[in-house]
Amino acid sequence: MAVSVSIAKDKLMRVRADAYALCVEQGALDAVKKVFGSVFPSILEYCKKHDFTGKAETITSVPVDHDGRLIYLLVLGLGAKKDKKLSVENYRRAIAMAIRFMQKNKLATLALQLPDTQLFGVDDDFLAQEMATIVSMTDYVFDTFKEVSGGRVPLKLSIILDDHDAKKIKKGLERGELIGAAVNDARQWINLPANIMRPDELASQARQLSKKYGFACRIFSEKEIQDMGLGGLAAVSSGSEQDCCLIVMEYKTNKENAQTIAFVGKGITYDSGGLSLKPAKSMETMKEDMSGAAAVIATMQLLAQLKPDINVIGIAPVAENLPSGSSAKPGDIVRMYNGMTVEIKNTDAEGRLLLADALAYVIKNYKPAAVIDVATLTGACMHALGPFFTGLFTEHEEVKKRIEQAGAISGESVWQLPLTDDYKKAMDSVVADLNNIADPKYMAGATTAAVFLQKFVGDTPWAHLDIAGTSFDVPNIPYYSRETATGVGVRLLTQVAMEWGKHP
């Protein structure tokens, strides 16, 4: 359901709405009195009585009678300043909490005062962009299969302009709506169960979007994949009756001599583990194993609309990992696209096989200035970092900086884990060039998976993002929801590309 957002040039309390929201810095409640005092003179006492001080991730709501109408005053905590700045992430969560309040109380119209952007050290358009992104992300519900969808009320939002630059705010809001919609597309594809979101279905989504937004999209069939020698991808798919595919998308800028970068996303529409079968419990959420591919496709769609000054290739190797008489077997040896051989010791370590082929493919055929892959690759990363940080693996300083900065700006946080020479022999095989699982002595499963991928990128600047922990069922963050996808990767990769376009 789309949220309609409009700009109001009036004062907050002069706009007609069901609820009115104001963000406040912790301990600076004077503003509350100033804005809401006219309709509820004892608002400060009310806040005090309810222990509301403006702490981050807190909200207080006051029902009041306003000219004979029941309205709600919402005060949203932004937390205290850190290094002289308020946190944009706290602002995102404050907005999300206001939207959750609206949903819970079945309210339709919300008038929202934009806070002073200088307090955050950002521009008007960025804060407006984040607001629109978060509103649409919070509004998303996966109710495709619910007969009764909970009687949701379509939301209307009025943004109070005050002293803000109307043009910038409008531009930011528009951009945010596009970002939110792309994130929600990725979430929807991930949430759709694996009996519906099959490899051909994901490919068809990519093809449709490429036509709609005008970027190139070529889909290689299983037969072509075998003929081209992507032996890792072919081996993973061999147990499934569904054909695998390789989705190759290209966004081209009009700017001359622009650099080309590439994004690669893991697209396992279902990971049963294959013959190295997962325990039942671990299989329950394995429709999420195409989150990387979803993030890359949604990012390409978004970039085709935002048009950064950089060429971007998006690649998604897509397959199902299932056991059958034709599956890859532990002990099988396959030849990869770059000619190396791999002993598949464990068929559940499948992601690295198809990613390695896709990495080698994009590097050989497009010679990108840098490649970033994004994948729900290891349970080990999820255990190491939990649900709030995506694992970052790279030995390339510049790419690392770009990703860390994009993480800080977009709100999709990353945390670097080791990838050093010490680990480089972890994947050595006695009988082939590489093993697909590490010598158990090495333990660090997220790092050893990255070591495997690194063998396929040569000298190309490359970073690997492990989103196993961050892509699905993230608790506590109010713009996400439980047991569903977050769409992580879309905001991060988009920010990387936008910034790269500005500063090659």
Q: Which of 351/487 has CB closer to ligand BES?
A: 351
Q: What's 423's DSSP letter?
A: G
Q: E-assigned strands of 139-295? A: 156-160, 216-220, 245-251, 260-265, 267-271
CA dist 422 and 451 (Å) reads 10
**Angle in degrees, 0-180, between the axes of helices 490-502 and 166-191, rounded to the nearest 10:** 140
> Which of ligand BES, Zn ion, none lies near 236, with the C-beta cut-off 5 to 8 A by kind?
none
Q: Is 49 a catalytic residue?
A: no
Torsion of CA 46, 50, 56, 58, to 10 degrees: -100
Say if CB 396 and CB 461 are below 8 A apart.
Answer: yes
Exposed/middle/buried for residue 156 (C-beta within 10 Å: 0-12, 13-18, 19+): middle
Min dist. Cβ of residue 252 to ligand BES (A): 32
Exposed/middle/buried for residue 300 (C-beta within 10 Å: 0-12, 13-18, 19+): buried
Q: E-assigned strands of 35-68? A: 59-66
Pick the catalytic residue from 92, 170, 352, 402: 352
CA dist 170 and 45 (Å) reads 36
Pick the catalytic residue from 33, 171, 252, 278: 278
Q: Which of 250/320 has CB closer to Zn ion?
A: 320
Q: Which of 5/434 has CB closer to ligand BES?
A: 434
Q: Which of 127/384 has CB closer to ligand BES?
A: 384
Tally Cβ neighbours within 10 Å of residue 502. Answer: 10
Binding mask 271-300 for Zn ion (x = CB under 5 A): x-----------------x-----------
Binding of Zn ion by 348 (CB under 5 A): yes
CA angle 48, 52, 56 (to 5 degrees): 160
How far is the CA of 64 from the CAs of 27, 100, 336, in angstroms?
23, 19, 67
**What is the Cα 242 distance to its own chain's centre?**
27
> Which of Zn ion, ligand BES, none lies near 250, with the C-beta cut-off 5 to 8 A by kind?
none
Q: Which of 210/471 has CB closer to Zn ion?
A: 471
Q: Which of 376/460 has CB closer to ligand BES?
A: 376
Say if CB 400 and CB 119 are below 8 A apart.
Answer: no
Q: Which of 91/456 has CB closer to Zn ion?
A: 456
Min dist. Cβ of residue 380 to ligand BES (A): 6
Q: Which of 380/498 has CB closer to ligand BES?
A: 380
Min dist. Cβ of residue 339 to ligand BES (A): 24
DSSP lists the bridge partners of residue 263 as: 314, 372
Binding of Zn ion by 77 (CB under 5 A): no
- Tokens 């490429």 correspond to what residue? 210
Min dist. Cβ of residue 10 to ligand BES (A): 48
CA dist 319 and 501 (Å) reads 32
Which residue's Cβ has the minimum distance to ligand BES?
Answer: 379
> Which of ligand BES, Zn ion, none lies near 468, with the C-beta cut-off 5 to 8 A by kind?
ligand BES
Min dist. Cβ of residue 115 to ligand BES (A): 36
Positions that interact with ligand BES (CB under 6 A): 271, 289, 346, 348-351, 376-380, 382, 437, 445, 468
Q: Are strands 370-375 and 341-344 parallel, antiparallel or unpaired?
A: unpaired
Min dist. Cβ of residue 276 to Zn ion (A): 8
Q: What's the count of helices (H) and strands (E) in the chain, helices before strands?
A: 15, 18
Near Zn ion by CB under 5 A: residue from 77, 176, 180, 351:
351
Binding of Zn ion by 320 (CB under 5 A): no
Min dist. Cβ of residue 468 to ligand BES (A): 4
Min dist. Cβ of residue 396 to ligand BES (A): 24
DSSP lists the bridge partners of residue 472 as: 485
Q: What's 243's DSSP letter?
A: P
Q: Is 69 a catalytic residue?
A: no
Please give the positions annotated as active site: 278, 352
Q: Which residues bind Zn ion (CB under 5 A)?
A: 268, 271, 289, 348, 350-351
